[in-house]
Amino acid sequence: MKVSEFYYDLPQELIAQEPLKDRKQSRLMVLDRETGAIEHRIFKDIIEYLNPGDCLVLNDTRVIPARLLGEKEGTGGKIEFVLLKNVGGDIWEVILKPGKRAKPGARFVFGNGELKAEIVDVIEEGNRLVRFEYDGIFEQILDKIGIMPLPPYITKPLEDRERYQTVYSKHKGSAAAPTAGLHFTKDLLEQIKQKGVEIAYVTLHVGLGTFRPVKVENVSEHKMHSEYYNLSEEECNKINTTKKKGGNVIAVGTTSCRVLETVGDESGLLNPKSGWTDIFIYPGYKFKVVDKLITNFHLPESTLLMLVSALAGKDKIMNAYSEAIKEKYRFFSFGDAMFIK
């Protein structure tokens, strides 16, 4: 299967540059994966498609202000770091811009010297391992001097940091938001609970590999970046109970979906687990746990578009995207939503 089969032409003006004032008023495209039939709704209508005994699975990761602007010690040359993941203690994997000349031993300063960093190693794709030095608590310093790492296709500054967080975000560690969850409000989640729908949480810290272009010609040759996940015993039991009773497991976002499919056994049941996943889901994959999916509209030729194509069928997805463009849906992180049922 060729990557080019997942290309579509998107008018620039359909890339959402800011979130709506009311999260749940995004548009919602409902796609029937059996028939390919499409409905056009508003996101708050999602409750009509959820039934008592179903389980909605949310990713409760929280985005850290992972973008740091600083300068090289001694020369004052400007540098930008984006934190990808903590690999232990004060050592992080980062992307540097410009980074080609940054060799092990090079030192950088951020804020008013509140944070310093030294390059420890050069690793795959030119990323660096860096050791941070600071007085106090790293997270507090990051909150003070870090910037939200918005995707490159969003050029408008974000006025309120919380709009790039889900209302249920809890565990800090992501370099990007699990954007399908951005449409939920606390009120809407409460209404869903009242209807008799179970709500379960997984954690997957989203890396910037989410936005990494697929550079190979054949889909099967692409290698995913690994991301850290955690599924607790309590949440596991909720999902397993739903499965055993014949309810639907509805993943909110490709990140939740990837955790469930990483952990699930062949019978679709889960055991509590944490670790790193590099699961790559593309057409031909047989889903073990996920029955339905709430997701956003994804970039052309992206691994996320391949994942939704694996669930609904490539032709049905590409047709739905054509319809979304015709109907002027808003695309990508701050855009509208799709429910694959």
Q: Which of 67, 146, 60 is nearest to 111 (CA)?
A: 146
So what's the pLDDT on residue 282?
97
At the topology level, CATH places domain 3-63+160-340 in: QueA-like (3.40.1780)
Average pLDDT over residues 233-260: 97
Spans of all domains in the chain:
3-63+160-340, 67-147
Least confident piece of the model among 219-223, 269-273, 331-335:
219-223
CA 285, CA 306: separation in Å to the nearest integer? Answer: 10
So what's the pLDDT on residue 102?
84
Q: pTM of the prediction?
A: 0.91
pLDDT tens digits for range 3-25: 999 999 999 999 999 999 999 99
CA 112, CA 134: separation in Å to the nearest integer? Answer: 11
Q: Which of 250, 259, 131 is nearest to 202 (CA)?
A: 259
Average pLDDT over residues 123-152: 91
Q: Which of 183, 169, 173, 230 is nearest to 207 (CA)?
A: 173
- Note the CATH architecture for domain 67-147: Beta Barrel (2.40)
pLDDT tens digits for range 207-230: 877 667 788 999 999 988 889 999
